[in-house]
Each structure stands twice: as C-alpha cells, then as structure tokens.
Chains A and B, each alone.
Chain A
Amino acid sequence: MEQTNRAAKIDRATRCAVCYAALLLLTLALGAAGLRFGSVKITAQKIISALGGEKSTAADIIMISRLPRVIAATVLGGALAVSGYLLQTFFANPIAGPFVLGISSGAKLTVALAMIVFLGNGMTLDSAGLIIAAFVGSLLSLGLIIPVSGRAQKNYMLIVCGIMIGYICSAVTEFVVTFADDSNIVNLHNWSMGSFSGIGMDEAGVMSAVVLAAMVPTFLLSKQIGAYQLGEAYARNSGVNIRWFRLAVILLSSLLSACVTAFAGPVSFVGIAVPHIVKRMLGTAKPRVIIPAAFLGGACFCLLCDLIARTLFAPTELSIGSVTAVLGAPVVIFIMMSRKK
C-alpha cells in the first residue's frame, strides 16, 4: 500500500514535470515563430541580431511590432487563463470565465467611455488609465453577477445572466461608439474586436508589470483556493477567512482580465478552455500546480491564436477574438457534454 502510494506520487510528479517542460518549450517555440512569421519573413539570424541591439529595417519590425506583440500575447494569454481559473473556483462553475460572465464586456464599455471622454477633450489616455478604466468596468460587471450567483440554483443560470450582462454592455458600447467623433471610431472599432496589434514596447512593459504583480498574490492564494474547492463551509472549517478570500479572488481576477481588455480588447474563451485543458493534462486540480501551468497554457494558446490571426489570410489580419472562439468554444461544448454523464 505504502509503495503503491509512493509510486502514484512519483507518477504524478513525472507527469507534472513532463507537462511543464512541454508547456515551456511550446511557449518558447510559439514565441519564436511569432517573431519569425508575419507579412515579412525575417530569418532567425536577423532576429537574433535584432534582439542583440543591431539596427536595421528588420530589427525595427522585430523590436517595434513583433516583440511587443509576442510579449503581449504571452502575458495577456496567461492572465486570461488564470483569471478564468480564479472565476471558476469562485463560482464553483467549470464554464465561468471573464468573457461569458460579462466581465470583459463591462471592461470594454468603461474603456470605450474613458477613451471618448479623454480623446474628446484633447487628452491622451496612458496605459495605467486604460487599466484603471477596465478594472472599474470589470468590478461593475462582477458587482452585478455576484448577487445573481447567490440566487441562481443552477450553474447555467449564472452563465445566462453573464451573457446577458455582456450583451447589454456591448450594446451600450456600440451606442456610445456610434455617437462618438469620427476620429475616435476607427481607433475604437479596431480595439473592440480584440487584437494584439498596435501594442508598443512601453505598453508591453506596463502590462507585464501589472500581470506579474497580480500573479504573485494569486499563487500565494493557492492554499486557500485548494481549501475552497470543497466548498465554502469546508474552507471556513479549514481556517480560511472567507470574506477576505472572496474579495482577493474578485480583485485579482478582475485586475487580470482588465489588463487584457485594456490592451487587447475582449478576447473570448481562453479563460474557460485553457484551465480545463491544463487540468486534464496534469490530471489534478491542485492550485499550486495548476496556476503556473494555466499561465503557460494561456500564453501558448494566445501565441498560437495570434499567429493564426496574423498569417492565415496575410496581409489581412483576423481579430484575435474570432480565432480564440473557433479554437476555444469546442472545448466548452466538450466540458458541457462530459459533465452530463
């Protein structure tokens, strides 16, 4: 018995190590591919010399356009996946995520409003301002959805309400955009479809800092998240301060998804699909294993989707949201079907 236990544990450890190695390699490979491919093909040699600081046209493309974009896809993809994981834990619902709960759309609305107000008055909105606007919008949507979750007896009720909130926010956003000045519309329209394009190195730096700042406390919450997986009562009995825990989860998941919406617009399904795939891969739901893996998985997923969005019909670019939806929605359907059993 003792030996089989030990064997099972070693199996688990090996599986974890293999999965982590695979995720890391995949992230690096997809990141490299992101630098290499695009409307202009750049050789590996040129990429390396560009990263080394050499000046050339190719280096400009890499440093101004592609590298920030790869960083954004990595960081924001990871943030989305972890945000989804936190929301799934919070609502004890496997298909909860920032997009289906209307949190991304709430953030989109406040960012659109902030942009119109600021640009209309001749001011510019910096990265921090964008994040704050998106964060406020995320919290407002969560403020609407949390009371619903207390009343909704069935899991799907929560999702239906979230989707409705999402539609209302999108409708108001459309309305606002329609009556905004012409010069703003182009800017807004592009963004509200979701895209990693047009992100500069400065912005990539800001988002990396914010996401890292949110990831550290999230990882430190893994013990409490683990206790919470058996439900609120058992978590409280294990010594978790439920009120603080819930507040922390709300703030962190909002911050993570707000960061994504602020820079890339609403990106759908990553938050649901990635944590699910990662859990299946690792064969466990232990938060301290899943949280970093979900981050890496989200990075891979978004790097891949961005690559597809850029190269499939190059030079025409697809919106990132449509690619993530095509790849992510089947996973959601799969989750729903497999839980029926």
Chain B
Amino acid sequence: MGSIFRTEGLSAGYGRKVVLSGAEITAERGKITTLIGPNGCGKSTLLRTAAKQLEPLAGTVFVSGKSLRETGANELARKLSILLTDRVSPELMTCRDVVESGRYPYTGRLGILSEADREAVDEAMALTSTTELSGVDFARISDGQRQRVMLARAMSQQPELLILDEPTSYLDIRHKLELLNTLKKLVREKNTAVLMSLHELDLALRVSDKIVCIDGGKVGRVGTPEEIFSGGYISALYGISEACFCESSGCAELEKPAGAPEVFVISGGGNSGGVFRRLQREGTPFAAGIIPANDIDLPAARALAAEVVSRPAFSEAPREVVQRGLQLIGECGGVICCPGSCGALNPENSELLSCARRLGKLIGDA
C-alpha cells in the first residue's frame, strides 16, 4: 500500500541486549515520520536496524514491500540512504567528492561517474544549496554546511526512503531550520519518505507529518503531532511534570521555585513571560492572575507560578476568582503589575491594581 517502509514485530539491540521490541512502524512516501522519546530509548538502534546497519534480533523490516534479508546490498543502496550523527572527517575530499560518493551504487567496477550520475549530483547539491561549496575541502566547512553536504550525499543516492538520526544535532537554530526546511522541500518535490529521530520536541511538532513515540523499549503512541502533543502524553513520556511542558508550542519551562507565593504578578495580555522567568531565576515563588483561559501568558504562568488565578475566556471574571486574587495580594509581600495587563475589558485586574496601591505593596510596573 502506501507504506514504503514497514516493520513487523521488530526487536532491535546489540548482541543479546534487546533495546526495543515488538516494534510495528510504517513510513510513507511524501511524509516525514519522526521518532521521539527519551535518551537511550532505542531511537538510534531502531533507525540503524531499519537501515540494515544492524541485524534485527527478531522480526522483519520491509522496504518497498521486500524484506531487508532478501534485499541485496546494492539494491538497498538505491532505495535507502542515511544521514547519521557520527562525524565523518575524510581526508582531502572536496564537498563534491563527498556528494559524489552517494552515486556509488549506480556506478560500475571502478566507480567512474556517468553524465547521468553527475546530473544527479548537481541536482542534489542545488536542492540542498551546497552548489557553491563544490570545490571546498570538506574538512574546512562548518557543522551546518557539513550536515547539508551529507544530506546532499544522501539525496544523490536518489532514495525512496531517507533515514536520518538526529540530523539537527550540533546545529544552531538557523541551521536547524534550514535543514528541516530542506527536508520539507525534498519530501514535497521528490516524494521521498523520511524517517528520522529528533531531540527537539518543538521542531518535531512543527516538521512531522507523523510522530512515533518510543517509550520504555516499546513503540508508544503513533499519530499526528496534534494527537501526540495532547493530554499530557509528552510529559509522561519524558517523565517531566505536566505543568512545565507547553503542548501547543512544544517548549518546556524550568522548575518553579518552591514555597508559598511571596509576590503577586498582575498579568495577562502577552507581556508577562519575562517577569515570570525573572522571578523564577531569582528563586522567588509567586502567584499570577487574573489571566483569561485563552491568554498566551497562561502556559508560562501554569509552569512557573505557585498559584495561578484564571478566569474563563470571553466572559466576566466570577466573583470568587476576583476574591481569591485579592486574598493572594493580601498574603504576598509585594505586587508587580505587568504592562498591558489592565484594560477596559478586564476590570478585575484594575481592581487588583488599585487594591495593591491601597496596601502600598506595588513594587513596580515591570
């Protein structure tokens, strides 16, 4: 059917040590399938087994419907290419030499490239914007460029399936984005199937068509990013507290300061994150409110504040919510009012502000 890659009851590991068992995974052409999961959960082992770098301990891997055991080395090389985390440091090879090495499965006995091979190399280099690096020594380029050249190498192999093991490691944010954009382009233009592992959840959330979670040596949830990043599943997968992970952005916050709130932050409107994080850095426990349920300050407040006073979206604050806010201001030593947190449509925050002024607790408009 649509799956170019499929595993059946696959167990992967090294020697007798089983890292992952009973894995049933598919990858489709024109889609990016991302493996996520904690360190050491077996993502790399699974990918290495999928690429026939490791023999499966049990079960079968199918690539275009044919079992890996029955696929010859050269036949597989034309269907599947890889990009690994291991750094390669070849001597005296230009970037073009490196990309050309992807054409090996298509060349004859001595590995001399034909015109068609050269065209495939040109195309792969154009696609990954590495053409201008052609004549440069591979040892002299940056990590970001190196990863793009290695991607060009993988593409010049003209694979149906591309397997990448944490392709964004060592890259800064710009190069991470560049690489993932290139992958997207490739999937769209070449209808390649991509199977990769990623550490960065925020990027996995954005780039993947399908996410496969690896949890404690088994395949956990499989689904679209929206399905995976919901209901606190990610927090459970990585064993972090639910509050500190924001499912809509895929970002995490540091641990909140312990203790009863010492400062109340009148917040909401999108400008409060900085204040929350400053208090967190200083180790001051704080309460925050009154934040509408649809406000973008709410996830950070939930993660960092000792207590959050929140009200339903698009409706008036219930009286008991306002009461709780006033009570917290009474208990706290100081009050900070974030800019833009008080306006005509949220009179409850203005009420809190005037209460703070009256009590002389206002320590600043942040």
Interface residues in chain A, defined as those with a beta carbon under 8 Å from any beta carbon in chain B: 1, 4-5, 8, 94, 220, 222-223, 226-227, 229-231, 233-234, 236-241, 279, 283-286, 288
Interface residue from A1, A223, A234 paired with B111 (Cβ < 8 Å): A223
A288: chain B residues at CB < 8 Å are 110-112
User: When chains A and B are docked, how far (Å) is the Cα of A195 from the Cα of B73?
Assistant: 45
Sample of 24 A–B contacts (CB below 8 Å): A8-B134, A223-B107, A223-B111, A226-B111, A227-B104, A229-B90, A229-B91, A229-B101, A230-B90, A230-B98, A230-B101, A236-B73, A237-B77, A238-B101, A238-B104, A238-B157, A239-B104, A239-B105, A240-B104, A241-B73, A284-B92, A284-B93, A285-B91, A288-B111
Q: A229-B93, A285-B92 are in contact. Are A222 and B110 (CB under 8 A)?
A: yes
Residue pair A8, B73 in contact (C-beta under 8 Å)? no
- Quote the shortest CB–CB distance from B108 to chain A (angstroms): 8
| Contact between chains at A233 and B53 (CB < 8 Å) | yes
Name the residue on A nearest B96 (C-beta): A5
Q: Which residues of B contact A (CB under 8 A)?
A: 51-53, 72-78, 80-82, 84, 86, 88, 90-93, 96-98, 101-102, 104-105, 107, 109-112, 131-132, 134-135, 153, 157
Task: Report the bound CA distance from A238 to B82 in whole Å.
Answer: 9
Closest to B112 in A: A288
A222 with B73: CB separation less than 8 A: no
Task: Give bound CA distance, A306 to B81, whole Å.
Answer: 49
Instruction: Out of B76, B90, B110, name the residue touching A285 (CB < 8 Å).
Output: B90
Q: Are A239 and B110 in contact (CB under 8 A)?
A: no
- Are B104 and A226 neighbours in the complex by a CB distance under 8 Å? yes
Contact B92 A231 (CB under 8 A): no
A94: nearest chain-B partner, CB-CB: B91
Which residues in B have their C-beta under 8 angstroms from that of A229? 90-91, 93, 101
What are the residues of chain B within 8 A of A5 when measuring CB–CB? 96, 134-135
Chain A positions within 8 Å of B101 at CB level? 226-227, 229-230, 234, 238
How long is the Cα–Cα vector from A1 to B96 in the complex, in angstroms?
Answer: 13
Residues of B with C-beta under 8 A to A220: 109-110
Docked CA distance A5–B126 (Å)? 14
For A1, A222, A234, the residue with the greatest tally of chain B CB atoms inside 10 Å of its CB is: A234
Residues of A within 8 Å of B93, CB to CB, are 229, 284-285
Q: Give the docked Cα–Cα distance between A279 and B264 (Å).
A: 69
Q: Is the CB of A4 within 8 A of B135?
A: yes
Name the A residues within 8 Å of B78 (CB-CB).
239
> Chain A residues with Cβ under 8 A from B92's Cβ?
279, 283-285
Contact check, A230 vs B135: say whether CB atoms are below 8 A apart: no
Do residues B102 and A238 form an inter-chain contact, with CB atoms below 8 A? yes
Q: Do B88 and A234 touch (CB < 8 A)?
A: yes
Which residues of chain B are within 8 angstroms of A283 by Cβ–Cβ distance?
Answer: 92
Which A residues touch B104, using CB under 8 A? 223, 226-227, 238-240
